[in-house]
Structure 1
Amino acid sequence: MSQLQYSRLCQLIDHPFTVKSAVSITKEQEKSLLITLSQVLNKVKLWIAEFDSDSGSDSENGDHTSDNQDRPFIDTSKCHPSASPCLLKIINDLVLLLAVESRFVQHLAVNVVVSVSEYVVASGSYWEEVMQSICFHLKLIICKVISPCSDPTISVKHIGCDSAYSTLDLQPVLNNASWHSVGAIVLVLRTILKQLKHEDNAKILEIYFRVLGSCLQDIPWDSCNGALFVDVTTPPESWFEFCGYLLQLFCSLADCEDENPTVREILNVFPNILSWYFGKQGENHNSSISRYIQHKILVLMIRLSSLINLDCVTVVSWLKLIEKYFQDLLSESVSEPMADQDDCLGDSPFNGTSHRHLQRRVIFLYLKCSFSLIGLNEKRKKQCSCGNMNSCSQKGLITLYEWIKKHLPGNILDKHELYDDCCKSFTKSFIQLYMHEDDMLFKILLQLTYTPFEDTQQITDVAKKEILFLLSDIFDPVRLFHLFLSELHYDHQVLLDYLISKDTGTSCAEYLLRCLRIICEKWGSFFEFPFRAEVERQSCPKRRKFENGKNCQRAFYKARDCLLLLKKSVESLHQKDLFPYNPQVLLQRLIRFLELCLRQ
């Protein structure tokens, strides 16, 4: 960044509107601020466009002559000696505007800060200084809000900032510190991240994650907890607004292919977030928490669980958190999925009357945590931080069994004549629950192909063995695959649509590969699958036995024909080079499956 470039930015922001310190403003003042901020925003965006045009030009001449007539006079006597203190002052001035109690002003002020960050990124230098400045103000204001009587100098020293910040006039910012302004800074950080994800610049993102990760580590989150429940003067709107922005930021940070420095800090803060939203005592206040916030909490948990290997202590704590805060959704029957078939758009996290969307995520997360405890592999057993692998495995098993038991008739293990029908009915309802949300459908189906209930022969405990048999029957991958195809009405075109979709293609292909491998290993179970629709139940035992045999063959042949047509369609698209990825492995599995069909 040249002297001219940062000087003109500094003088543009150094405007009379930046010295206002009152957070409450009149309509006239609001109008004036909005006009000025709009002009500043447009000017900064114009300069960003100049960087883009200059980077595509080979002529140095064009860089200096493109807008000489439009450039304002710059008083160099008022300029900082370098870009760094200039940028610190710019961020400090703009942060003050984030405290103004006007959503319109705050919206524009956020956009101006984000545009300044874009300007710095486009210039190719001082990006880390800008990130550090934004994070400095985030830490400073949080410290001031939770400790209103603290001295500004002590605050600066406490959060480990260098002497460059001591030259700033922090008093106006501190005087107007509130959860409202903290939330606005968090919104700035999230918006910047969304912009950076579109940039093909790994270095810029690496700096963002590193600086923000360090910032999150320094914030006294437990003190935030205390401030919420001790200081009754805290406006709940601004507090929950801050929490909402923070949750959105965390979801964006966790939406990455690889773990970054912020993820572990998010994991540490996460229990606090649940406490903030649901209350210190853990009551489930559905009236005071939006379905959207619940949705974001569950999304964050699912993303974190996919991004990092959670140790057994964390998994057990998550199971307790789910039981504590989402018990209503966890206990809700899975056998009433027809309610949202005619109103799929209504099944949205933004719709306060719908809960199926949330229930799917709660159950998925609960099963994922339970399975991870039951199926601890040897490597994870050695790394088990609680020191008692059997206890963890037992916890996962009992947790899963207790949940399923609530959804089945009492003493089902003793009612042999009803056992098979009850298992199939529950499994079918379970599949139907997820059929209206494609991404969650394949997440849960993939999870259930890892059912860790195979090794029951070596178990001597009768009760535990019966539990394992029940779980293995309900979550049998072969049974699930048959029911999945029946819910699709054995329409191979639907499977093909899943496979070529950019949203579900990879997960659907992975699911089919796993199921085909399992089917080939358990061919007898697949061929003899006893599927019988409820309308086909007969009162006569002999008739029922005859119908069972017919439906067993019918289910097998329908599945076979569906997969045969799928193979032909995939081959046709692949030959024309129209398939979005190489389906060769999938085709090989389908060929192996059809070979077994021919032998039958």
Structure 2
Amino acid sequence: MATGKIVSRLHLLIDRCVRRYTEIEEVSSPTKEIEKDLLLSLSQVLREIQSWINEIASDSSEEAGEKTIDHEDETTAALYDPESEEYLCLERLVADLVGLLGMKSVHVKHLAGNILVEVSESLVESGSQWDDFIRLLCECLRLAVVYSCPIPDSEIGFGSTDLHLLVSDVLKCKLEKANWSTVSDIFRVLRNILKRLSQEENEELLDVYLESVNSTLAKIPWCRVDTLFSHQHGNGERNSQGQNGALGGTPTSEEATVFLGNFVQFLCSVVQQVRFAEDNDGFEPTHLILQKTIELIPDLLCWCQPKLESQSGSCMSRYLGHKLLVLMIRLTYQSNIKCTILLSWLEYLQRHFQGFLQHTLTRFEPDQDNCLEGSPFFVSLSDREVNETHSNHLQRLTVLLFLRCSFTLLYSNRHTNKHCEFDCRKKGMEEMFKWIEGQVPGDTFSDHGTYTKKSVDFSTSFVRLFMHEDDLLFKVLLQLLSIPLHEKELLNVEGHSLQDEEQTILFRLSTLFNPVILFCIFLSELHYDHQVLLDYLISKDIGASCAEYLLRCLRTVCDSWTVFVEFPFEGSTNASSSKRRKVLTENSEVEQNGKLHPQAFEDAKDCLISLQNSVVKLHQKKLFPYNPEALLRRLSRFQELCLSHE
């Protein structure tokens, strides 16, 4: 299939389908008959474009060289030239399809959005004007937001200049009646296009996408959006300003909720994809789009909070809470966030997610659910059980974000000066102290007869909380590896001579989140099944995280061999602290407690050695997805220590 005129062909195809419907008055609210005809036409267009994509992909695999170069020359001539025929065709087809997003028919909007995604795919495959396409779509987004925002009469003639600045009549004509539903649908389309791009693994296309989105977000009048949504309390009514002579209008409760859901979902996807250019210091759009997203977080939290409160317990409320937490968590991994921002996020968690932070973790028991979350059997659960499952998920996210923010304040080098470092560490310590005190009372750490049982119970419950979500599990386990262990502080605390609050908190952290103990609990919760570990390692989603965790944990285990061997895996009530045992080696009770559960050590040893054998076999057959040499060296060292222990 010749790809040189792909844009013209797309335009003719879409124009034939759309033209006769756009000429009908009140097409935004079509009759059932018109809607049915339009849906049939759009379905045919969608199938036709998909067949073209298959043809282009087939031809491109057979052809190379001269024709490809000719196409590049042709599209380069058209690129950025608003007077070219190809560009005008592209502009019209984008305007026509985006115009359909303003219809009240959910099915028409869905099909129009899918066609836009397929148009993007066809331009990517043909190498024709995709850059122009994504910029036009982003410009449609900006215009849709501008037209959806009411402009007070006092600003008409001044604030309205951005409506006409460098905007073609074609786009303005289609978007003059845009509303917040249109904005939501454009965000949805942009997100779906991004998902396709992530599968292409083409960094150049991703760069163009991020640059276009960043430029658009920078041009959107967020102050106007804030005026609307900060006074939108979910009452489902439009204020008088939206009805009287102003462009656009205040969104209804439903429109606002759908917009916020799509917008936060879109930002989550964008932030997730930024990692592809994370190592490129010169890639400005990456840095800028992260910074813009961080700047928008306070507004997003303000806009979403009325929905979270007024619709508490509803599916949308849980979804918004979930996405907001995910967005903030991803930002902590992707950018160097200022301390002041992290502090504000901690304050937000304490105000609005305090229930999840304060909820005791010791209630989590093994095998508490009879089915996996999201499985077909999930529908058999009662409403109470379903709500509890969703609450557990939000608690995981809340705790992970809390730890990310607190530990960054405690251990990072992002502080601007010594005063900033002191204040941030102090605030981080205060937050950690309150959280630990709420979970494990302070007397737990002074009562030597029982504190090991209680602290191990907490550590076990903590791991169990995250066992249901593998990606969050390894994120939190890797995060906890950043906690330093100081033997001197442990001695001082146990001797009741240390008064420094900071060292007290560090001791409690190192006791509750000792990496060796957590690793032992982790293996125990897997029932020492090396096949589960192997599945983790070869997983496309969490394989890298699991490998990193095993590498770092095995190193710690080998360096703290006595703790690993003697740890009371089953949480014996009489077992003393593993850290305390290191400095009280003459205590006969400790020597006895170290042998309370020898079978647990044997199970852990067999699990890791079996894992080593499985990885070796796969690696020899070249079936392991990456080079496991570093992991095998750590496992070999572990095996040597096991042999010397016998």
* TM score, norm. by length of structure 1: 0.85
Q: Which residue of 2 aligns with 1:492?
A: 530
How many residues in Structure 1 have an aligned counterpart in Structure 2?
574
Q: Which residue of 2 aligns with 1:503?
A: 541
Q: Does 1:239 find its partner at 2:256?
A: yes
Paired AA for residue 101 in structure 2: L
Q: Does 1:519 find its partner at 2:557?
A: yes
Is the 1:144–1:155 contact (alpha carbons within 8 Å) kept by the matching residues of 2?
no
Paired AA for residue 94 in structure 1: L
Q: Which residue of 2 aligns with 1:375?
A: 411
Q: Which residue of 2 aligns with 1:114?
A: 117
Query: 5 Å matches for 1:408-419?
Result: 408-409=440-441, 411-419=443-451
Q: Does 1:18 find its partner at 2:22?
A: yes
Query: What CA distance in whole angstroms lies between the structure 2 residues aligned with 1:152 and 1:137?
Result: 21
Query: 5 Å matches for 1:133-532?
Result: 133-148=136-151, 157-158=161-162, 161-162=165-166, 165-168=167-170, 170-174=172-176, 176-230=177-231, 232-233=237-238, 234-256=251-273, 257-258=275-276, 259=278, 260=286, 261-279=288-306, 283=309, 285-287=311-313, 289-338=316-365, 340-345=368-373, 352-354=387-389, 355-377=391-413, 380-381=414-415, 383=416, 387-409=419-441, 411-454=443-486, 457=489, 461-532=499-570
Is the 2:151–2:159 contact (alpha carbons within 8 Å) kept by the matching residues of 1?
no
Is the 1:247–1:297 contact (alpha carbons within 8 Å) kept by the matching residues of 2?
yes
Shift of 1:21: 5.7
Query: What CA distance in whole angstroms lies between the structure 2 residues aligned with 1:161 and 1:123?
Result: 32
1:255 alignment partner, SS class: helix
Unaligned runs of 5+ in 1: 64-79
Paired AA for residue 38 in structure 1: S
Query: What CA distance in whole angstroms lies between the structure 2 residues aligned with 1:342 and 1:583?
Result: 35
2:255 alignment partner, SS class: helix
Shift of 1:426: 0.5
Q: 1:166 to 1:346 in 2, by over 3 A?
A: closer
Q: Which residue of 2 aligns with 1:69?
A: none
Query: What CA distance in whole angstroms lies between the structure 2 residues aligned with 1:285 and 1:117?
Result: 36
Q: 1:165-200: CA deviations, max 9, x gaps? A: 3332624521x2211111111111112112222325
Query: What CA distance in whole angstroms lies between the structure 1 residues aligned with 2:566 and 2:453?
Result: 16
Paired AA for residue 113 in structure 1: L
Query: 5 Å matches for 1:72-91?
Result: 82-91=85-94
Shift of 1:159: 6.5
Give the percent of matched residue pairs that are identical in Structure 1 and Structure 2: 39
1:569 alignment partner, SS class: helix
Q: Which residue of 1 aligns with 2:282?
A: none
Is the 1:3–1:83 contact (alpha carbons within 8 Å) kept by the matching residues of 2?
no
Query: 5 Å matches for 1:89-104?
Result: 89-104=92-107
Paired AA for residue 500 in structure 1: I
1:391 alignment partner, SS class: helix
Is the 1:44–1:119 contact (alpha carbons within 8 Å) kept by the matching residues of 2?
yes
Paired AA for residue 185 in structure 2: A
Greater shift in the superposed pair: 501-510 or 421-430: 501-510
Q: CA RMSD in A?
A: 3.6
Shift of 1:476: 0.8
Is the 2:453–2:575 contact (alpha carbons within 8 Å) kept by the matching residues of 1?
no
Q: Which residue of 2 aligns with 1:595?
A: 640
Query: What CA distance in whole angstroms lies between the structure 1 residues aligned with 2:640 and 2:20?
Result: 80
Query: What CA distance in whole angstroms lies between the structure 2 residues aligned with 1:498 and 1:269?
Result: 35
Q: Does 1:36 find its partner at 2:36?
A: no
Q: Which residue of 2 aligns with 1:585?
A: 630
Q: 1:203 to 1:584 in 2, by over 3 A?
A: closer
Q: 1:403-455: CA deviations, max 9, x gaps? A: 12111246434434332221111111111212222222222111111113538
Paired AA for residue 437 in structure 2: K
Query: What CA distance in whole angstroms lies between the structure 1 residues aligned with 2:202 and 2:55?
Result: 19
Paired AA for residue 505 in structure 2: I
Greater shift in the superposed pair: 420-429 or 222-231: 222-231
Is the 1:152–1:171 contact (alpha carbons within 8 Å) kept by the matching residues of 2?
no
Q: 1:243-270: CA deviations, max 9, x gaps? A: 1111221122122233435332222212
Is the 1:456–1:465 contact (alpha carbons within 8 Å) kept by the matching residues of 2?
no
Is the 2:101–2:109 contact (alpha carbons within 8 Å) kept by the matching residues of 1?
yes
Query: What CA distance in whole angstroms lies between the structure 1 residues aligned with 2:165 and 2:143?
Result: 10
Query: What CA distance in whole angstroms lies between the structure 2 residues aligned with 1:502 and 1:214?
Result: 32
Greater shift in the superposed pair: 292-301 or 184-193: 292-301
Greater shift in the superposed pair: 192-201 or 204-213: 192-201
Shift of 1:156: 7.8
Shift of 1:82: 1.5
Q: 1:314-360: CA deviations, max 9, x gaps? A: 22222122223322222222122237431323598995552212211
Q: 1:55-94: CA deviations, max 9, x gaps? A: 345599x99xxxxxxxxxxxxxxxx852112222222222
Is the 1:159–1:218 contact (alpha carbons within 8 Å) kept by the matching residues of 2?
no
Greater shift in the superposed pair: 498-507 or 296-305: 498-507
Greater shift in the superposed pair: 443-452 or 7-16: 7-16
Shift of 1:20: 4.4
Query: What CA distance in whole angstroms lies between the structure 2 residues aligned with 1:406 and 1:370?
Result: 16
Shift of 1:51: 3.2
Query: What CA distance in whole angstroms lies between the structure 2 residues aligned with 1:112 and 1:155?
Result: 34
Shift of 1:465: 2.5
Shift of 1:155: 7.3
Q: 1:298-324: CA deviations, max 9, x gaps? A: 222222222223232222222122223
Unaligned runs of 5+ in 2: 69-82, 239-250, 279-285, 577-586
Greater shift in the superposed pair: 140-149 or 202-211: 140-149
Greater shift in the superposed pair: 46-55 or 514-523: 46-55
Query: What CA distance in whole angstroms lies between the structure 2 residues aligned with 1:251 and 1:92?
Result: 27
Q: Which residue of 2 aligns with 1:72?
A: none
Q: 1:153 to 1:101 in 2, by over 3 A?
A: farther
Is the 1:341–1:436 contact (alpha carbons within 8 Å) kept by the matching residues of 2?
no
Is the 2:56–2:126 contact (alpha carbons within 8 Å) kept by the matching residues of 1?
yes
Is the 1:37–1:108 contact (alpha carbons within 8 Å) kept by the matching residues of 2?
yes
Is the 1:117–1:192 contact (alpha carbons within 8 Å) kept by the matching residues of 2?
yes
Q: Which residue of 2 aligns with 1:77?
A: none
Shift of 1:371: 1.3
Query: What CA distance in whole angstroms lies between the structure 1 residues aligned with 2:107 and 2:221?
Result: 30
Q: Which residue of 1 aligns with 2:245?
A: none
Query: What CA distance in whole angstroms lies between the structure 2 residues aligned with 1:169 and 1:480?
Result: 58
Is the 2:575–2:593 contact (alpha carbons within 8 Å) kept by the matching residues of 1?
no
Q: 1:199 to 1:401 in 2, by over 3 A?
A: same
Is the 2:357–2:395 contact (alpha carbons within 8 Å) kept by the matching residues of 1?
yes
Query: What CA distance in whole angstroms lies between the structure 2 residues aligned with 1:53 and 1:508?
Result: 38
Query: What CA distance in whole angstroms lies between the structure 1 residues aligned with 2:115 and 2:570?
Result: 63
* TM score, norm. by length of structure 2: 0.79
Paired AA for residue 52 in structure 1: A
Query: What CA distance in whole angstroms lies between the structure 1 residues aligned with 2:610 and 2:253?
Result: 58
Is the 2:101–2:185 contact (alpha carbons within 8 Å) kept by the matching residues of 1?
yes
Q: 1:414 to 1:30 in 2, by over 3 A?
A: same
Shift of 1:9: 3.2
Query: What CA distance in whole angstroms lies between the structure 1 residues aligned with 2:25 and 2:160?
Result: 20
Query: What CA distance in whole angstroms lies between the structure 2 residues aligned with 1:520 and 1:104?
Result: 60
Query: What CA distance in whole angstroms lies between the structure 2 residues aligned with 1:86 and 1:393?
Result: 58
Q: Which residue of 2 aligns with 1:550?
A: 595
Is the 1:412–1:418 contact (alpha carbons within 8 Å) kept by the matching residues of 2?
yes
